[in-house]
Each structure stands twice: as C-alpha cells, then as structure tokens.
Structure 1
Amino acid sequence: MAKETTEQDEKQSSLQTYNVYVKKLEGRIAMELSEDLESWYQSFLPLSTESLNQQPPRLTDEEVKAMEKKDGFILARPQRILPLQTTHTPNFLGLHKDLGFWKGSNFGKGVIIGLLDTGVLPDHPSFSDEGVPSPPAKWKGKCEFNGTVCNNKLIGARVFQYVSQVVGAAPFDDEGHTHTASTAAGNFVINANALGNANGTAVGMAPYAHLAIYKVCYSNGCFEVDMLPALDNCH
C-alpha cells in the first residue's frame, strides 16, 4: 500500500496542466461525429483524465508524447499564468508620441474598434474627439444615446438585451467596464490623476481610432443571443 501511495504521489507531482489543440473535423468524418464531438476530443486523452470540454487536462510528459503521435493532434502547450505588467501600457511597450512606430501608425486614425462589453460612460474625457478625424464614409452604425453624446471618437453605441427586452434602453455602462474602451482607444488625457496622486497622461493604445460600443453584458453575464447579433453589426 505504501508503495502504491508513493507512486501515486510521484505521478501527481509530475502532472502539468496543458491547453490541448486538435484539428477541426471536416468532410465525412465531421458528419459522422457531429453528434459525438466529445468522444473525438476525449480520444486524445488518457482514460484517467477529465474531458477537454470541462477543464484543461493535467498530463505527464509521457502522456503528452503519446498524444503527439495521434492523427489530428496539433499542439499541447503547458498552461501559463500571465502577470499583470503595468498600467502604463504605451511606455511599457516602448512607444513614444513624437517618434517611432506609434507616431508612424497615426495613433489609429481611420480604424474603427468594435467593443462588446457592458457599455460605456460617454462623458469620460478619454472619449474626447480632439484630434480625431470624421468617421470613414463606410461607417453605417447607430448611436443609441441621444444625438449630442456620440462624436468623432465615439461613433456608435448600441444595446442588445434580448432576454429582458427593455424598450428604449441605452448603452450606458453600469458595471465599471468603461476602462476597456479607454484602454483600447482612449484619447490623450493630460494631467490625469487619482485624488491628486500619480499625475500624468492617460492614453489608450490607439488614441485617434474610432470606437463603436455594443452593450451585450450585464451583471448576470453575457448572453450569446445578444453577442451574436452584435458581432454581425460590427461588420
């Protein structure tokens, strides 16, 4: 019994969590297995592991090597834990306003970034349109705030709320995710600070890009029935 316990402990210590990638089924095989994809995915794993659909599998090196020999296998990558690096993303990436790649990119001018999240607070200074050109002529989106809120920066805002079907709902952010839009494309905000501390310039990665906001997420989550039509409207 002690020997078995030791062997089990050794195996547990050698297990590592992997993200496993396999080929997409196509043609006749896909049709045959369309109702049993779970079995297809599970066929790559040792019998002792959990389903790929439930959680990333924990495998030994030997189990990964055996999996690599199976037809349809692409990659098994050890799971990484990525640290939060910085709140000063442009500086962290070595980007400078007056020279180099960032300036050469025109800070995102002419680009439209579509964001699916909890909405936006449109009066935030990050969404000033100073220096931002007019939207491209191809833009046909809507702004479901009142007519004075959208501008050359915030060119579109829509709400998708199929489940509750609230008539006249506006895409205001009431969950605190406005920062995702400003991180992507917030304009330059000089002398930004928190109660007088950490004074500096707040800016997103594409400060002169346009933003189209789609509110599809709420306190109880993000429903696919809202996300899919929002994605269609991003085109």
Structure 2
Amino acid sequence: NATTVGNHKKSPIQVAGPYKGYIGATAFYFLLPFLEEAPLFEQSNKDISTVVNGKMVYATSIDGFLCPSRPNAEIVAATTNGGANKWAIGNYGGNFFIFGDRNALSTEGKTRLSMLTDGLSQTIMFAERYGTCGSSGKPNDSSTWGNLWADSNLRWRPHFCMNGEQPDATNIASGCNMFQSQPDWIKNCDHGSAQSLHSGGISVTLCDGSVSSISPAISTAAWKNLCDPMDGNVIAGF
C-alpha cells in the first residue's frame, strides 16, 4: 500500500530499481518505518553505517526484530567472529525463495506478490531464527554465524531457505531446509536452517500478513511446500 511514512510519500518498499543509493540495506531495514522507527530510517540517510543517537544503525537493537523467547538475552551477536558482536541481531529471517532469485543464484530478487502462485496465505515470508548460531560449542569459533537484521553480507544476512552461506544450486535443489526445534544455540544450531524459539512450534509470517505457529511435527515435505511460493503444492490445515 502506498502510504505516507515520515517524509516519504509512499512506502519505501515500493521504491523502484536496485538499491537507489541504499548502502548495506536488508529487507528488514525497509520495515523500520512500519515499526515506529521512521526517525531511525530517515536519519540513516540510506546507509546502515550512519551514526544515529550515538551508535551506528547496524548496531541499533530493534525491539520488533527480537523474540522474548530467544535462547539468551543477546541484543548483539554473541560471537566475535567477523566482528559480529558489534552488530545487532534479529530473530527473524526472510525467505530466500521470495527475496532472492533462485534461477540467477542471487540474493537480489524481483518477486512480486502476483508471482506467488501457491497463494499468499499458503506461503511463508518470514520465519524465526536464532541471533547467534553454531555447533562447535565455542561462541567465537569461525564456524559460529549470526542473523543480523542490518547485515546484507552473505553469511550474516537475515534469511532462511538459502540453506547455506550463499546461493548454491545444489543446496537449494531439494527445497528449503527443515527448521530446527529449539536447538542448543552453540552446540547444535545449523545456520542453514530456521530455528523455532518456542516449544510449541515456529512462528512464521505468511505473505498475506497473517502470523501462524507451525508445529515441529509438520512433515519435512509440507514445510518445503509452504516455503516454496511457486511449486504448485498447496498445503491446507497446517
């Protein structure tokens, strides 16, 4: 919907063309005006490294991007790997099959809602992620990654369904990785998958804007179908 947000005469999500001068922006950056963060969005001047209120935008924790049930009280990444401890985490990721381009193996997609042929209420757009995720048992190990809401770099970007560090034909050929149900964040967390932060299931946002909780008992096949917006397999009653 075209709306007035701060000084914007239409939703910044609808700005045409690649980037339009934005530096380091993720999908979550463009959601800021809709989460009562319009001043941060406007003062950032299209650059996540801009200092606003004494800290860089990418280091700014956004309540709307955090889940109270996250496995620790982190608001920045709990790893020094890659300097991630200087970046604010997010507990949600965007679906690569919507925001990316699987055919071009690119994180930059051009998907329109009209292209989601399985139906808006049958397709997952956002799902839960751990802010810091590893399996070595060592928070600062080079294999420990994070889900950083303002980081568009491949291994740190807030996503799921890419199934790895970067788009790869082999990784995505079999569909979206099944989500993990409350794994240990540093001993058994797979950064190539989404993670449920709740015992009863994973919270997701569907493309029609509704929120749903999906049980960990759902079949892997059904999860893959819900994450693929154009596979022709519509799942009812999930």
Structure number, greater radius of gyration: 1
- Higher normalized helix content (fraction of residues): 1
Instruction: Give TM-score scaled by structure 2 length.
Output: 0.23
Using CA pairs below 8 Å that are at least 6 residues apart, which structure has the higher relative contact order? 1
